[in-house]
């Protein structure tokens, strides 16, 4: 069975697998919802290139499931179950991740329960203004270490104007101390607005909303005394209790996921630092990773290292071709270059001859190693760099390089 499910008014295609008794979610739709990307398919491709582990996970654990496209035609799309989606969103930096996890848990769990009782599809619609627990829970956020609801969301549930609700609160201000109701700061308001928690429906006269904790919502029943308000308050309090139980029951899992997200952010910051070093010709590259297909980045990074040489360059590479000679031409004038390789073939000698004819004053030495080398090393004057790929293959596959704290003579002594 297929159904569109809604997360904060945004559509996510889902399909119920009766044999496995679980929901499958469109991966592209989830990426689009969390990133607000205009082209989530392209965004997902970039994620896969940036995170090889994620790419492997998608290929192994995410099947192609038939779902209805925007054109109305059925297409095979990449899909994942709830567990798989949790793994995928670990690779997404988004302010909506936490609320999405709670939504995902509710949708998947509710669907399983409903499907085990009857063979009918349970439709989750967070847009409707009924009193389903899931609808109320979607309006509960975490702020200043407490679960809160905003005045506009409460007014919508009570079916009153936000202005009227705030007036009632102001008339009874002594009942709402700061620890159970507070006005958001501009920074908090901007943060929630960036998460699409607040909208522009307030019009031109925007104000900083009130936030009510669970106790603050309970106190509202003393100032909003209609039968409808009392009934709605009961539903809201039950939703708070349900959310609290869920968080307590899944505290360890949520903590581990949060820890992984923090590690991911730290890794991305490190990657940005590495790429900045590669882009900055005035900074000596120390280490780095170049991803598959980034041929230009790889060539630029190696070129920056080669240009650091003042006297000599020695390259130890088991696999050499004309591209290797071409890259070494990035060195400065009067810097000598020598290539040591596993086997100097006649074809390789011909490449050297052609090079020396074209560059008669910049000959490159070509010698056979006395020792069989598996790894690649680049010696720039007295500095030793270790490379995970041959120079002729730079950028064709993911590889890493690093500057080693090593005496170059230790390597040079193995060459002859």
**DSSP characters for 141-199?**
EEETTEEEEEHHHHHHHHTS-HHHHHHHHHHTGGGS-TTTEEEPPHHHHHHHHHTTSS-
Q: How many CA atoms lie within 13 A of 356 on its CB side?
A: 13
Alpha carbon 118 to chain centroid, angstroms:
37
| Window from 135-144, 168-177, 197-206, 275-284 with minimum mean pLDDT | 197-206
Residue 8, token pair as written in the block: 């904060």
User: Cα(125)–Cα(134) distance, rounded to whole angstroms?
Assistant: 9
Cα(14)–Cα(30) distance, rounded to whole angstroms? Answer: 10
Cα–Cα distance, 66 to 80 (Å, whole number): 12
Position 123 pLDDT exceeds 60? no
Contact (CB, 8 A) for 66 and 74 = yes
Q: What string of H, E and C letters represents the secondary structure of 340-388? A: EECCCCHHHHHHHHHHHHHCCCCCEEEEECCCCCCCEEEEECCEEEEEC
pLDDT at 275 over 70: no
Opening angle at CA 16, ends 10 and 20, nearest 5: 140
Beta bridge partners of 195: none
pLDDT number for residue 116:
31
Q: What is the pLDDT of residue 72?
A: 82
Sheet holding 141-143, edge to edge: 141-143, 146-150, 210-213, 181-183
| CA 4 – CA 121 distance, rounded (Å) | 11
pLDDT tens for residues 222-246?
A: 777 666 676 777 778 777 777 777 6
In this prediction, residues 201-225 reach a mean pLDDT of 75
Helix (H) or strand (E) holding 97: helix 97-117
Beta bridge partner(s), residue 24: 15
Q: What is the reported pTM?
A: 0.34
Tokens 């960036």, residue? 194
Longest dimension (CA), the chain: 96
């Amino acid at each position: 069975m297929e159904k569109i499910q809604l997360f904060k008014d945004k559509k996510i295609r889902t399909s119920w697998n009766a044999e496995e008794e679980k929901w499958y979610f469109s991966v592209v739709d989830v990426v689009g919802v969390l990133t607000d990307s205009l082209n989530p398919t392209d965004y997902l491709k970039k994620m896969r290139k940036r995170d090889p582990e994620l790419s492997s996970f998608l290929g192994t654990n995410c099947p192609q499931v038939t779902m209805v496209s925007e054109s109305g035609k059925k297409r095979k799309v990449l899909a994942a179950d709830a567990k798989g989606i949790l793994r995928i969103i670990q690779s997404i930096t988004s302010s909506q991740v936490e609320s999405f996890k709670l939504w995902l848990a509710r949708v998947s769990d509710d669907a399983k329960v409903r499907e085990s009782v009857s063979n009918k599809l349970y439709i989750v619609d967070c847009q409707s203004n009924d009193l389903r627990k899931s609808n109320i829970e979607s309006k509960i956020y975490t702020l200043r270490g407490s679960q809160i609801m905003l005045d506009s969301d409460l007014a919508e549930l009570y079916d009153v104007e936000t202005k009227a609700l705030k007036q009632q609160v102001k008339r009874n201000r002594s009942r709402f101390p700061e620890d159970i109701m507070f006005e958001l700061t501009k920074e908090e308001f901007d943060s929630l607005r960036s998460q699409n928690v607040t909208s522009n429906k307030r019009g031109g006269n925007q104000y900083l909303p009130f936030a009510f904790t669970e106790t603050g919502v309970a106190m509202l029943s003393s100032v909003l005394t209609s039968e409808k308000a009392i009934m709605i308050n009961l539903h809201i309090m039950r939703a708070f209790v349900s959310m609290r139980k869920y968080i307590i029951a899944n505290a360890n899992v949520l903590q581990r996921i949060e820890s992984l997200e923090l590690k991911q952010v730290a890794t991305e910051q490190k990657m940005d630092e590495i790429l900045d070093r590669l882009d900055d010709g005035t900074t000596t590259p120390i280490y780095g990773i170049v991803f598959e297909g980034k041929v230009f980045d790889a060539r630029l990074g190696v070129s920056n290292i080669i240009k650091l040489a003042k006297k000599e360059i020695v390259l130890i590479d088991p696999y050499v071709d004309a591209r290797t000679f071409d890259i070494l031409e990035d060195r400065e004038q009067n810097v000598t270059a020598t290539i040591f390789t596993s086997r100097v073939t006649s074809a390789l000698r011909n490449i050297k001859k052609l090079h020396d004819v074209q560059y008669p004053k910049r000959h490159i030495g070509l010698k056979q190693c006395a020792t069989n080398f598996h790894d690649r090393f680049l010696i720039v004057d007295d500095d030793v760099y270790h490379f995970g790929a041959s120079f002729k293959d730079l950028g064709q596959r993911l590889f890493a390089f690093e500057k080693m704290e090593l005496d170059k003579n230790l390597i040079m002594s193995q060459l002859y």
